[in-house]
């Protein structure tokens, strides 16, 4: 091996692992970044829910509404409005019914009137979230294996990228504009280096989340292949087991509930961020308890579960305060990484920070893919252009601009398809893939630069059009959401506009007259000299 052999090997590794999985990684990064706001996206995709607005009395009224809706239930779960969703979501289980995740009956209520609301059927942000880690239209395990393998390559690309970056500190803040390949390189480097801790964390934690799938041998050996037993043991170590199985138990005798107002007030006094949810067991019967859960979290070590207080619902007396407990070191480490990756705990500010970092990561992957093509432009100019180059440059268009077209189509179908259409949620998703496939075909049929332009035009139209189309819904459009301080909805519309603006900026860049690199350099130098001249003349 030559002197710089190590760096060269890594450069080779970085280029080809990036090329091989860049398209997939771009999609994983983009949908993952959007998943930070998956609840907000789902909420935005159901305009029927937007009139609901939280009031001071909402919690109390929700409990009263439950007494009307499900007086005989074995338990209630009430999720109160938050910044992420302005409605009240309630769930209840009948006497003797098994308590399972997603079981029982559930209804969404208006936070003011407590009337049931029905949003249009949609997979919402959940589709993007699922796609992010298990793709679509294939066996889940297969999807997860593919994404897991891509994650592994991402880790390889990050490490080899750091190794081959020659001037990681000197170039730290450097972005030289309008210099062809140099600019793409600078952009790729800056996007990678400036949020390197995030990229490393998100990739490493992504692998950890797949840990039980990709490396099950330890558990296999200890539990003799019984994964279920492992997870139930692990679950028990972290949070207390759920109450005794309500099955086959006779319902206790009736006993009126104490007024809930004072209990809520007591909890609110302790928790400045407020109450996230209420659960009541055996409401209106002897021995009924009411558990309140705190909003937000203090630490990343315990799944950010927050504090809980339990009241005796009959007397209204405080029974116990359950502090969020901190588990052992191994579980804590896993929890920190999985919490950081999934961001369940985060308030809006941290969520936006992660979103921006995720967008930078997406752009990093995108610039890397474009850089591969740009680097080979001199060969193209000389007419020595490989069929492989053509394959990559065309597929890049569909993987980058085409994915935005697909996401835009997904949102548009959500607005256009009638609410009563059978299989409506499915058609939104089909539309996403039809649009993406069409983008791929389009990129293949058109000339390369033309394909970029046309797809970027489509992105501008789709994304700028959505906030305008929202004016059809009285409580959803920008003017209403800003006037009412509904920042969840407003930021979604503003983010759509920002995406359209970014695509328009890219278009403007594509339309600017192309200059060969040396000519651009000469021009930049001339401009710089002229500016120095004027400065010198201006200063006496």
Q: Point out which residues bind another protein (CB under 8 A).
A: 170, 172-177, 190, 194-195, 197-198, 297-301, 336, 340, 349-350, 353-354, 356-357, 360, 532, 535
Indicate the residue among 43 and 337 with the shorter CB distance to another protein.
337
Q: For residues 176 and 472, which CB has a smaller minimum distance to another protein in the complex?
A: 176
In the complex, what is the shortest distance from the CB of residue 356 to another protein, in angstroms, rounded to a whole number?
6
Least Å distance, CB 522 to another protein, is 20
CA distance linking residue 238 with residue 189, whole number of Å: 40
Q: In three state form, how does the secondary structure of 37-100 look?
A: CHHHHHHHCCHHHCCCCCCCCHHHHHHHHHHHHCCCCCEEEEECCECCECCEEEEEECCCCCCC
The answer to whether 394 touches 448, Cβ cutoff 8 Å, is yes
Crossing angle between the packed helical segments 140-164 and 125-134, to the nearest 10 degrees: 70
Nearer to another protein among residue 292 and residue 336 (C-beta) = 336
Residues 6+ apart with CB under 8 A from 329: none
Contact 152, 207 (CB under 8 A): yes
Least Cβ distance, residue 195 to another protein (angstroms): 4
Contact 341, 36 (CB under 8 A): no
Toward another protein, which CB reaches closer, 441 or 498? 498
Collect all residues with Cβ–Cβ distance below 8 Å to 424 and sequence separation of at least 6: 120, 121, 122, 417, 418
Q: How far apart are CA 223 and CA 8, in angstroms?
A: 44
Q: Are 187 and 524 in contact (CB under 8 A)?
A: no
Minimum separation from the CB atom of position 294 to another protein (A): 14
Contact 158, 168 (CB under 8 A): no
Q: Which is nearer to another protein, 41 or 340 (CB)?
A: 340
Kind of pairing, strands 275-281 and 75-79?
antiparallel
Report the residue number, 106 or 298, with the smaller CB distance to another protein. 298
Smallest separation (angstroms) from another protein to the CB of 258: 35
* Of 189 and 470, CB closest to another protein: 189
> Shortest gap between Cβ of 447 and another protein (angstroms)?
31
CB of 349 to another protein, least distance (A): 7
Q: In angstroms, what is the minimal distance from the CB of 441 to another protein?
A: 36
172: which 2 tokens? 């730290």
Cα distance between residue 406 and residue 398, in whole Å = 10
Identify which of residues 279 and 491 has a Cβ nearer to another protein in the complex. Answer: 491
Q: Which residue, 364 or 417, is less far from another protein as judged by CB?
A: 364
Q: Considering the complex, what minimum distance in angstroms separates the CB of residue 203 from another protein?
A: 15
Bridge partners (DSSP) of residue 78 are 90, 278
Report the residue number, 223 or 352, with the smaller CB distance to another protein.
352
In the complex, the smallest distance separating the C-beta of residue 181 from another protein, rounded to whole angstroms, is 16
Distance CA 180, CA 375 (A): 10
**With b meaning 16 or more CB within 10 Å and e meaning fewer, what string describes 143-172?**
bbbbbbebbbbbbbbbebbebbbeeeeebe
Identify which of residues 11 and 299 has a Cβ nearer to another protein in the complex.
299
What's the rounded Cα separation, in Å, for the pair 339 and 351? 12
- Find the shortest distance in angstroms from Cβ 416 to another protein: 36
* Three-state SS annotation for 443-508: HHHCCHHHHHHHHHHHHHHHHHHHHHHHHHCCCCCHHHHHHCCCHHHHHHHHHHHHHHHHHHHHHH
């Amino acid at each position: 091996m030559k002197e710089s052999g190590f760096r060269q090997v890594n450069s080779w590794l970085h280029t080809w692992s990036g090329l091989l999985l860049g398209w997939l990684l771009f999609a994983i990064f983009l949908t993952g970044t959007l998943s930070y706001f998956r609840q907000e996206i789902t909420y935005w995709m159901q305009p029927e829910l937007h009139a609901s607005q939280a009031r001071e009395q909402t919690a109390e009224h929700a409990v009263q509404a439950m007494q009307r809706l499900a007086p005989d239930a074995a338990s209630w779960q009430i999720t109160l409005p938050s910044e992420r969703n302005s409605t009240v979501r309630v769930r209840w289980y009948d006497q003797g019914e098994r308590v399972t995740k997603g079981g029982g009956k559930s209804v969404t209520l208006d936070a003011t009137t407590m009337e049931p609301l029905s949003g249009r059927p949609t997979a919402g942000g959940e589709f993007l979230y699922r796609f992010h880690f298990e793709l679509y239209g294939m066996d889940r395990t297969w999807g997860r294996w593919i994404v897991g393998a891509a994650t592994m390559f991402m880790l390889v690309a990050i490490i080899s990228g750091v190794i081959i970056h020659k001037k990681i500190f000197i170039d730290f803040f450097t972005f030289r504009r309008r210099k062809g390949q140099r600019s793409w390189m600078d952009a790729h480097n800056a996007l990678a280096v400036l949020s390197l801790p995030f990229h490393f964390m998100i990739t490493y934690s992504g692998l950890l989340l797949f840990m039980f799938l990709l490396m099950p041998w330890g558990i296999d050996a200890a539990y003799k292949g019984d994964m279920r037993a492992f997870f139930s043991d692990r679950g028990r170590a972290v949070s207390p087991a759920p109450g005794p199985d309500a099955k086959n138990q006779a319902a206790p005798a009736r006993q009126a509930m104490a007024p809930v107002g004072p209990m809520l007030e007591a909890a609110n006094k302790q928790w400045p961020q407020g109450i996230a949810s209420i659960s009541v067991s055996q409401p209106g019967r002897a021995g009924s308890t009411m558990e309140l859960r705190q909003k937000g979290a203090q630490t990343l070590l315990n799944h950010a579960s927050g504090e809980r207080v339990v009241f005796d619902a009959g007397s209204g007396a405080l029974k116990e305060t359950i502090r969020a407990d901190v588990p052992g070191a191994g579980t804590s480490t896993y929890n920190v990484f999985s919490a950081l990756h999934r961001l369940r705990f985060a308030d809006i500010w941290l969520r936006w920070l992660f979103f921006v970092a995720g967008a930078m990561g997406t752009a990093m992957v995108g610039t890397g893919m474009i850089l591969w093509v740009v680097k080979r432009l001199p060969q193209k100019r000389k007419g020595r252009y490989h069929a492989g180059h053509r394959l990559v440059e065309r597929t890049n268009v569909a993987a980058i601009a085409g994915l935005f077209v697909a996401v835009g189509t997904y949102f548009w179908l959500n607005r256009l398809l009638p609410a009563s259409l059978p299989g409506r949620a499915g058609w939104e998703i089909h539309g996403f893939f039809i649009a993406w496939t069409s983008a791929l075909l389009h990129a293949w049929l058109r000339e390369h630069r033309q394909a970029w332009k046309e797809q970027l035009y489509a992105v501008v139209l789709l994304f700028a059009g959505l906030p305008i189309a929202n004016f059809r819904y009285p409580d959803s459009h920008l003017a209403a959401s800003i006037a009412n301080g509904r920042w969840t909805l407003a930021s979604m519309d503003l983010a759509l506009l920002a995406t359209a603006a970014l695509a328009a900026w890219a278009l403007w860049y594509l339309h600017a007259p192309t200059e060969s690199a040396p000519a651009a350099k000469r021009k930049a130098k001339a401009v710089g000299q002229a500016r120095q001249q004027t400065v010198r003349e201006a200063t006496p």
